[in-house]
Amino acid sequence: MAEMLGSWARILDELERQIGRAAARPIVSVGASGIWSIAELSIPFDGLDELPPELVARARRILGDYDRVIAQLDRARAEIAGHLTMIDTVPRQTPGGTAVYLDRLG
């Protein structure tokens, strides 16, 4: 039981480190090298039993942290989609070299 508790504690430690790194990054500047996944965990999940009851509250807090970062990513994605939609309204070629201005309000 103590070994299982230690394994789960190490997994939760790593999840906390990852979410801390994700939360510290500016959302809009995350590039391909800035994306992380569960595959980066160095602790294998094989052979783990159910989460020990004494770690449930901590795991729920970590899950809440992930939910907040996911919500930030969703908001950033929606804002970026709006910017891309706005950019798509700009003609690709301007006749006669005319300057084209576009403000955020349309």
Which residue positions in the chain have pLDDT lower than 70?
Answer: 1, 25-45, 94-106
88 within domain boundaries: yes
Q: How much is the pLDDT for 31?
A: 46
Supply the range of the domain harboring residue 49: 2-97
pTM (two decimals)? 0.62
Q: How much is the pLDDT for 54?
A: 94
Q: How much is the pLDDT for 105?
A: 67
104 within domain boundaries: no
Residues contacting 19, CB < 8 A, separation 6+: 62, 65, 66, 69
Question: Cβ atoms within 10 A of the Cβ of 15, count?
Answer: 19
Q: Where are the alpha helices (DSSP H) in the chain?
A: 2-24, 56-88
Side-chain half-sphere CA neighbours of 93 within 13 A: 2
105 within domain boundaries: no
Residue (of 77, 57, 71, 58) closest to 13 by Cα position: 58
pLDDT digits (tens, 9 = 90+) for 71-92: 888 888 888 899 889 888 887 7
67 within domain boundaries: yes
Q: How much is the pLDDT for 19?
A: 84
78 within domain boundaries: yes
Q: How much is the pLDDT for 72?
A: 83
Q: How much is the pLDDT for 57?
A: 96
Total domains present in the chain: 1
106 within domain boundaries: no
102 within domain boundaries: no
Q: How much is the pLDDT for 53?
A: 92
52 within domain boundaries: yes
